[in-house]
A and B are shown apart, each in its own frame.
Chain A
C-alpha cells in the first residue's frame, strides 16, 4: 500500500491554472466589448498584436530554456498578460510599441525571472510602465470616446492608424484627438490634472466636456461605463472564487479613505473619492491586476495590507505625481514589498506561537 504524504491544503478547488486564467479572460470580455464600443476597433487590433507577440515570445523563450512549450502556452497566462496590456494602452498606439511592450512583459518580466509563478512583478504593469516611460507622448494619446469624434474611425482606418500612423485620410492621432471645434479631448484624469495646474478649482475642472454623458457628474464619458463593466466582471470573479475579496476591498477602501481625507481638507484641489474610483484604471486594477496570484501577497491579512497600500500610493501619485494615472506604479511599488508583507503576516500554525505559549516557542 502506498501512503502519499502531501502538505496542506488538502482540500482544493479542482481548477487548474488554465481554467482560472480563462475565467479571468471571460470576466474581462464584456468590459473589453464596452471599451471597443466607446473607443473603436483599436482594442481588437492591439489585442491581436499583443496576444500573438506574447505567445511567440513565450514559446521562443521556453524553447531556449528547454521547457515544455505546449503545456505552458495552454495555461493562458501569457494571453491574459497580453490582454491586460492591450486594454491599458491607447487604442491608436503604433504597432511596434505594443510589440516591444508585450515582448518586455513576457520575455523580461516573466520568463527571465523563471516563468509563471516566479515573477516578482506584474508583467503587464511593468510593460505598461516601460512603454509609458519610453514613449510618454504616444502613451498618453487616448482618442476621445466615440460620441465626441466628428466621424468615428472605421476598421480600415484604425488598422491604417496603428500600422502607418495615419488614417486613410492622412490624419494622425493628434489631429484625431482634436474634436470639431478645435479643442483637444483629454482623458478625465488628464482633464482635471491640467485644469488644476491651470488654476481652475476641482469643481470647475470637472465641467470639462469629457464629463458629459458619464455615469454621474464627475465621471468621464465612456471611461466610467468601461470601469463599471470591469466592476461587474470583478464581482463575477469574486462570485466564482477566482479571487478573494481582500485585495479589491483593501484597495478601493483605502482609495475612498485617502481621497475623502484630501477632499474634505480642500475641496477646491482634491478630487472626490467617486472621481478616483470611476475614472482611470482603478477598478480594473483592483479586480484584475492587483489580484494577480503570482505577484500579490499570499496571506489574507497580507492581501488586505497589499491592497490598501496600493490604494494609498494610487491617490498620492494621482494627486501629487507627474502622471495622471497610477495603478501601474502603485502595483509595482507594492510588488516589491510583497516578500516583506508575507513575512510579517504569516498565519499562525495551529498549536504554535499562540499568545499563551509564546515563551515556550
Chain B
C-alpha cells in the first residue's frame, strides 16, 4: 500500500473525494462562489486531513476497535478547532466569509472516511501522504468550481485574494470581463449544482476516452497479428 505514485493518482483523480466519492459536497457547493473562498476552505480541509491522518495512524495500534470512531471524531474535532482558531487569528476576513463551514469541516465525510479506510491501517508516512493527496484533490475541485462560478457570475478571478494571502495580494484580482448585469445563477446555489454536475461529467468523459483509446490500441495489435497469420 505504500506506493506513493498510486496514492497520488487515487487522491487527485481515480478516487477524488469530490468528483468520485462525492464526499463533503455541502461545503463544496456552499463556499465555491469565488476561487479564494474555495482555496481557503480546501487548504483548511487539507490541513485537517493531514493532521488527523497522521494522528490516527500513530494511535492505530492503541485504540480498540470498538471505540475507534469516537476517537477519530475527537481527533478530527481537535484539528478543526486548531485550524479555526488559526484562521480567526491570521485570515480574519476569510474566516468571516467561510463562516459556519469551517467548524463544519468536522462533519466532512472525506476526512473520517480516510481515517477509517486508510490511516487506521497504514503507517504514518503513507497516511500523511494520503492526507496531502486527498486534500489536494478536494482543493483542486473547490478551486475549479470556484473559478467557473466566479468567472461566469462576476467576470473576475481571484477577487479578495488579500483575505487569504495578506495585503501583497490586494491587486491580484483579474477582471475577465466587466458587466453591470452579472449572471447571478452561477453565484447562486443552482450554479454550484450545475457546475459540479458538469465537472463530474467532464471527468467521466475523459476517463471514457482514455479507456476507449486503450482498448483501441489492443484491437489494433490483434488485427496486425491476424493479417500476419493469414
Query: Closest CB of chain A to B38's CB: distance in Å?
Result: 21
- Residues of B contacting A: mostly: helix
> By the criterion CB–CB under 8 Å, are A133 and B184 in contact?
yes
B191 to A, closest residue via Cβ: A134
> By the criterion CB–CB under 8 Å, are B185 and A138 in contact?
no
> By the criterion CB–CB under 8 Å, are B181 and A133 in contact?
no
- Give the complex CA separation of A137 and B181 in angstroms: 8
The digit string for A154-179, where 1 denotes a CB below 8 A from any CB of B, is: 00000000000000000000000000
From 169 to 208 in chain B, residues with beta carbon under 8 angstroms from any chain A beta carbon are: 181-186, 188, 190, 194
- Give the complex CA separation of A136 and B185 in angstroms: 11
- Give the complex CA separation of A134 and B190 in angstroms: 11
> By the criterion CB–CB under 8 Å, are B188 and A108 in contact?
no
- Chain B residues closer than 8 Å to A130, beta-carbon distance: 185, 190
> By the criterion CB–CB under 8 Å, are B181 and A138 in contact?
yes
- Give the complex CA separation of A97 and B181 in angstroms: 10
- Chain B residues closer than 8 Å to A135, beta-carbon distance: 181, 183-184
- Chain B residues closer than 8 Å to A137, beta-carbon distance: 181
> By the criterion CB–CB under 8 Å, are B183 and A108 in contact?
no
From 76 to 107 in chain B, residues with beta carbon under 8 angstroms from any chain A beta carbon are: none
Query: Closest CB of chain B to A227's CB: distance in Å?
Result: 29
> By the criterion CB–CB under 8 Å, are A134 and B184 in contact?
yes
From 90 to 115 in chain A, residues with beta carbon under 8 angstroms from any chain B beta carbon are: 94, 97, 100, 108
The digit string for B110-151, where 1 denotes a CB below 8 A from any CB of A, is: 000000000000000000000000000000000000000000
Query: Closest CB of chain A to B183's CB: distance in Å?
Result: 5
The digit string for A260-289, where 1 denotes a CB below 8 A from any CB of B, is: 000000000000000000000000000000
A94 to B, closest residue via Cβ: B181
The digit string for A116-138, where 1 denotes a CB below 8 A from any CB of B, is: 00000000000000100111111
Chain B contact residue count (CB 8 A cutoff): 9
> By the criterion CB–CB under 8 Å, are B194 and A108 in contact?
yes
- Chain A residues closer than 8 Å to B185, beta-carbon distance: 130, 133-134
B184 to A, closest residue via Cβ: A134
- Chain A residues closer than 8 Å to B181, beta-carbon distance: 94, 97, 135, 137-138
- Chain A residues closer than 8 Å to B182, beta-carbon distance: 134
> By the criterion CB–CB under 8 Å, are A134 and B183 in contact?
yes
- Give the complex CA separation of A137 and B182 in angstroms: 11
- Give the complex CA separation of A138 and B184 in angstroms: 12
- Chain A residues closer than 8 Å to B184, beta-carbon distance: 133-136
B186 to A, closest residue via Cβ: A134
- Give the complex CA separation of A137 and B179 in angstroms: 14
Query: Closest CB of chain B to A205's CB: distance in Å?
Result: 29
- Give the complex CA separation of A134 and B182 in angstroms: 7
B188 to A, closest residue via Cβ: A133
A108 to B, closest residue via Cβ: B194
A97 to B, closest residue via Cβ: B181
- Give the complex CA separation of A100 and B181 in angstroms: 13
- Give the complex CA separation of A136 and B186 in angstroms: 14
Q: List 5 tightest A-B contacts by C-beta distance, closest first.
A: A134-B185, A134-B184, A134-B183, A135-B181, A130-B185
Q: Given known contacts A94-B181, A130-B190, what 18 new A-B pairs fall within 8 Å (CB)? A: A97-B181, A100-B183, A108-B194, A130-B185, A133-B184, A133-B185, A133-B188, A133-B190, A134-B182, A134-B183, A134-B185, A134-B186, A135-B181, A135-B183, A135-B184, A136-B184, A137-B181, A138-B181
Name 10 A/B residue pairs within 8 A (Cβ), A-sorted.
Answer: A94-B181, A108-B194, A133-B184, A133-B190, A134-B182, A134-B183, A134-B185, A135-B183, A135-B184, A137-B181
